[in-house]
């Protein structure tokens, strides 16, 4: 793979650079669509590597390497943080109050920058492939992956690659799930309109709170009867707001939530039933219901062929005559899919795609989950991520070039 170069030295330098970037990003997290300093830092790094950059939307950075290759590969890293106060004791903990990289996007960005650094230094590493590096804004919010997929950037790509850190796996371990990886979703907003009255005379009003609570109860139980038990689906009611005094029958309640399922078709089926239930229950209480269903994400499905290539990386690493060994690198085939969503699913609608997990946990200690104030990444995962991308892209390119 790197016959002309000292592989270990190249990767070590990329890792050291990646780690410095990671710590700086973690210290200065920015929310989705406001990642201005993050985007500038990414651009500065890429330009130092000798790569041209461009912006789309407002903080998404696009770069790449055109080798006039036969294959075009896009790799996505998300860059936004979330509204969580950091509770770690890291020397590089967040300096932005109430905002933290609690989902690992700082590591994703650092890994892709490390990969780009290696590829820019070794010009003939991938002579058969054109690369696109996508540093995407706002994955946690409205999911700008949809806009990226509609921008034309992915139109002539042969395959797309996404990845995510996982505290459930120790650093040095990577994992991939065949087929369904993440579920699809639909979002909903329900408004129940009733009639105010004094709390002592409820018969003169129409209780929007009672109607809303019944919608939540009935919809949750109906779900178990309208879906195949062998299929995964759920409804989450995340927000409810209504009422302004303890002794007044409320006339206006708003409910917001999300439908998750293993396919878009299943989410649509559940959304239709939720609308029917909401209307019927509201009417039973003399209330009016207005419900709006919004598009969420499609399901994220891994390509079988690409999973085969990925899972061969560990056996390749274990070959006795293999020069570029990482003794700690392990590759697992994961069995569990999730009803969490990721807007990388939109990328997968444009080309063959693979989405894998990079272990970020510490061995021998409890690792806090994603989206918590105590979430902490083992920086060793950065090296694993860089190496995995290098090996994966190289092997995919090699296999496709022979076809």
Q: What is the DSSP letter of 125?
A: S
Residue 361 near residue 168 (C-beta atoms within 8 A): yes
The Cα 389–Cα 310 span in angstroms is: 10
The Cα 47–Cα 257 span in angstroms is: 42
The Cα 226–Cα 269 span in angstroms is: 9
348-387 pLDDT tens trace: 999 999 999 999 999 999 999 999 999 999 999 999 999 9
184-241 pLDDT tens trace: 999 999 999 999 999 999 999 999 999 999 999 999 888 887 788 888 899 999 999 9
Sign (positive/negative) of CA torsion 263, 267, 269, 270? positive
Nearest to 169 by CA among 400, 401, 378, 398: 378
Average pLDDT, the chain: 92
Percent of the chain topping pLDDT 90: 81
120-177 pLDDT tens trace: 988 777 777 899 999 999 999 989 999 999 999 999 999 999 999 999 999 999 999 9
**Residue 333 clears pLDDT 60, i.e. is over it:** yes
Residue 7 near residue 88 (C-beta atoms within 8 A): no
The Cα 101–Cα 105 span in angstroms is: 6
Tokens of 89: 């004791």
Residue 313 near residue 392 (C-beta atoms within 8 A): yes
Confidence of residue 398 (pLDDT cuts 50, 70, 90): confident
Classify the phi-psi angles of 39: left when phi > 0, otherwise alpha if psi is within -120 to 50, otherwise beta.
alpha
Q: How does 204-214 read in b/e, with b if 16+ C-beta sit within 10 Å?
A: ebbbbbbbbbb
Strand partners, 295: 186
Strand partners, 177: 334
**Residue 296 clears pLDDT 70, i.e. is over it:** yes
Residue 397 near residue 128 (C-beta atoms within 8 A): yes
Q: Is 240 helix (H, G, I), strand (E, B) or coil?
A: strand
Q: Would you give the end-to-end CA distance of the chain in angstroms?
A: 19
Its pTM stands at: 0.91
């Amino acid at each position: 793979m790197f016959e002309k170069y000292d592989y270990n030295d190249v990767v070590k330098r990329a890792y050291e650079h990646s780690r410095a970037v990671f710590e700086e990003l973690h210290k200065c997290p920015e929310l989705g669509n406001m990642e201005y300093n993050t985007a500038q830092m990414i651009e500065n790094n890429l330009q130092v590597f000798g790569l041209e950059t461009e912006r789309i939307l407002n903080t998404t950075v696009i770069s790449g390497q055109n080798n006039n290759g036969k294959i075009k590969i896009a790799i996505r890293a998300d860059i936004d943080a979330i509204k969580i106060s950091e509770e770690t004791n890291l020397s590089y903990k967040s300096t932005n109050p109430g905002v933290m990289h609690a989902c690992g996007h700082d590591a994703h960005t650092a890994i892709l920058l490390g990969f780009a650094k290696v590829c820019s230094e070794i010009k003939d590493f991938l002579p058969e492939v054109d690369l696109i590096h996508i540093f995407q804004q706002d994955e946690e919010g409205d999911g700008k992956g949809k806009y990226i997929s509609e921008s034309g950037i992915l139109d002539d790509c042969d395959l797309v690659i996404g990845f995510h850190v996982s505290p459930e796996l120790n650093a040095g371990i990577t994992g991939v799930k065949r087929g369904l990886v993440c579920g699809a979703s639909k979002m909903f907003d329900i408004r129940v309109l009733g009639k105010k009255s004094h709390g002592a005379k409820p018969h003169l009003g129409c209780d929007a709170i009672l109607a809303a609570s019944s919608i939540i109860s009935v919809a949750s139980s109906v779900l178990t009867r309208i879906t195949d038990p062998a299929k995964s689906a759920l409804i989450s009611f995340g927000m409810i707001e209504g009422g302004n005094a303890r002794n007044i029958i409320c006339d206006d309640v708003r409910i917001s939530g999300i439908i998750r399922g293993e396919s878009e078709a299943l989410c649509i089926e559940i959304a239709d039933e939720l609308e029917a239930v909401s209307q019927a229950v509201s009417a039973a209480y003399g209330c009016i219901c207005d419900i709006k269903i919004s598009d969420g994400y499609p399901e994220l499905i891994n390509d079988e062929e690409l999973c085969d290539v990925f899972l061969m990386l560990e056996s390749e690493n274990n070959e006795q005559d293999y020069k570029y060994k990482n003794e700690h690198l392990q590759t697992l085939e994961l069995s569990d899919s999730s009803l969490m969503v990721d807007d990388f699913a939109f990328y997968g609608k444009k080309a063959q795609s693979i989405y894998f997990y990079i272990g970020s946990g510490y061995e021998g200690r409890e690792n806090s989950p994603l989206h918590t104030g105590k979430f902490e990444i083992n920086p060793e995962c950065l090296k694993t991520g860089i190496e995995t991308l290098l090996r994966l892209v190289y092997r995919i390119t090699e296999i496709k070039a022979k076809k």
